[in-house]
Amino acid sequence: MKVTIVGAGNVGATCADVISYRGIASEVVLIDIKEGFAEGKAMDIMQCATTTGFNTKVVGSTNDYTKTAGSDVVVITSGIPRKPGMTREELIGINAGIVKSVSDNVLAHSPNAIIVVVSNPMDTMTYLALKATGLPKNRVIGMGGALDSSRFKYFLSQALDKPSNDIQGMVIGGHGDTTMIPLTRLASYNGSPISNFMSQEEMDKVAADTMVGGATLTKLLGTSAWYAPGASVAYLVDSILNDQKRMIPCSVMLEGEYGQNDICIGVPCIIGKNGVEEIVDIKLNEAEKALFEKSADAVRNMNEALSSVL
């Protein structure tokens, strides 16, 4: 199985690294516009093969898409990340042009690939990739909910002082500081509702910390995060390539589901070899439905800025 990752920067290279050492794909192609950069990252990762014990072939390329031909999955991480104090939405001016041209190149060489969009503002970039390529909606998937959910579980685990892997929880809605919806009501500690262990005030704080999780890291690091984002992409790619049919919140095109149309936004999806195989209706309550509608309004407003590229 072959995976191409466009953008060999922080997120792209981390994703390539995780995919390789976990043996998720047999070949990973890293491609970037910066001369020699992807080749260097690929070589560095390949030099881990004997010490971490993997057999994935990792190839780097400077903008030569022939090397990406026949990929089963293509991950788009190319574009600029935000700096402290910025929102993800402010990246649209530069990233929309990059995502559009990359989508065209990718499809020309891998007509059957499933595309995973990571570049921000991710929901709008997913919508752009879907419209620009004309691919069926099951084959264009925005990654954000997997990361936001892992942050949600991290903050819950910190508040409860329990291991992250004993926590279940999900974040849906837009992948933005004000559009994310951590589903506190449905989160559990090994199946027992977290409200059995935390006050409303503590749960509200976890939700608020989750929503600005990316901004907090950007402030600490000077650029946005990459370890958890790269690992979250690898987790999603694993579910596709190995047909795991995991339920992962992803940004996908809605046609009536969750009361929305013509928008890509985070909802729980079954992810398998065909990409998005099902959108799961988890029965939101009225308050959650209202939050989802507000989140969709904000994402839709952002999508309007695409009129110059589409």
Ligand X SMILES: O=C([O-])CC(=O)C(=O)O
Ligand Y SMILES: NC(=O)C1=CN([C@@H]2O[C@H](COP(=O)(O)OP(=O)(O)OC[C@H]3O[C@@H](n4cnc5c(N)ncnc54)[C@H](O)[C@@H]3O)[C@@H](O)[C@H]2O)C=CC1
CA distance 91 to 274: 30
Which CB atom, from 80 or from 298, has the smaller least distance to ligand Y?
A: 80
Query: Is 118 known as a binding-site position?
Result: yes
Q: Which long-range contacts (CB under 8 A, 24 or more apart) does 41-48 make?
A: 41/8, 41/12, 41/13, 41/16, 42/8, 42/16, 45/13, 45/16, 45/17, 45/20, 48/17, 48/20, 48/21
> Number of residues in contact with ligand X, rule: CB under 6 A?
10
Phi, psi of 164 (to 5 degrees): -55, -40
| Selected binder of ligand Y within 2, 71, 79, 132 (CB under 6 A) | 79
CA distance 17 to 45: 6
Q: Is 17 in the site for ligand Y (CB under 6 A)?
A: no
Q: Is 212 in the site for ligand Y (CB under 6 A)?
A: no
Q: How many Cβ atoms from other residues are within 10 Å of residue 70's Cβ?
A: 12
Catalytic residue among 154, 175, 209, 258: 175
Q: Output the smallest distance, CB 105 to ligand Y, in A.
A: 8
Closest CA to 172 of 185, 157, 154: 185
Nearest 5°: CA angle at 303, between 301 and 306? 130
Q: Output the smallest distance, CB 214 to ligand X, in A.
A: 2
Q: Is 299 in the site for ligand Y (CB under 6 A)?
A: no
Q: Where are the alpha helices (DSSP H) in 161-243?
A: 200-211, 213-221, 227-241
Q: Map the footprint of ligand X across residues 200-259, applying CB under 6 A.
A: 214, 218, 224-225, 229
Q: Is 77 in the site for ligand Y (CB under 6 A)?
A: yes
242 secondary structure, DSSP code: T
The single-letter code of the amino acid at 53 is G
Q: Map the footprint of ligand X across residues 102-121, applying CB under 6 A.
A: 120
Q: Output the smallest distance, CB 193 to ligand Y, in A.
A: 27
Residue nearest to ligand Y (CB): 9
Q: What six digits make up the tokens of 310? A: 């589409």
Q: Map the footprint of ligand X across residues 166-205, applying CB under 6 A.
A: none
**Bridge partners of 6?**
31, 76
Would you give the binding string for ligand X spanning residues 68-97, x where CB under 6 A is met?
A: -------------xx-----x---------
Query: 180-182 and 171-173 as β-strands: parallel, antiparallel, unpaired?
Result: antiparallel
Is 109 catalytic? The answer is no
> Number of residues in contact with ligand Y, rule: CB under 6 A?
35
SS3 assignment, position 255: strand
Place of tokens 């999603």: 236
Q: Output the smallest distance, CB 198 to ligand Y, in A.
A: 26
Q: Where are the alpha helices (DSSP H) in 161-224?
A: 200-211, 213-221
Q: Is 16 in the site for ligand X (CB under 6 A)?
A: no
Query: Is 230 known as a binding-site position?
Result: no
Q: Give, in order, the Cα–Cα distances in Å from 197 to each of 157, 181, 202.
A: 11, 21, 10
Would you give the binding string for ligand Y spanning residues 230-249, x where CB under 6 A is met?
A: --------------------
CA distance 98 to 251: 19
**Bridge partners of 275?**
272
| Selected binder of ligand Y within 27, 32, 72, 89 (CB under 6 A) | 32
Partner from ligand X, ligand Y, none contacting 11, C-beta within 5 to 8 A by type: ligand Y
Provide the binding-site residues for ligand Y, judged by CB under 6 A. Answer: 6-12, 32-34, 37, 77-82, 88, 91, 95, 98, 102, 118-120, 122, 143-144, 147, 175, 223-226, 229
Question: Per the annotation, where are the binding residues for substrate?
Answer: 82, 88, 120, 151
Q: So which residues are the catalytic ones?
A: 175
Binding site: which residues? 7-12, 32, 82, 88, 95, 118-120, 151
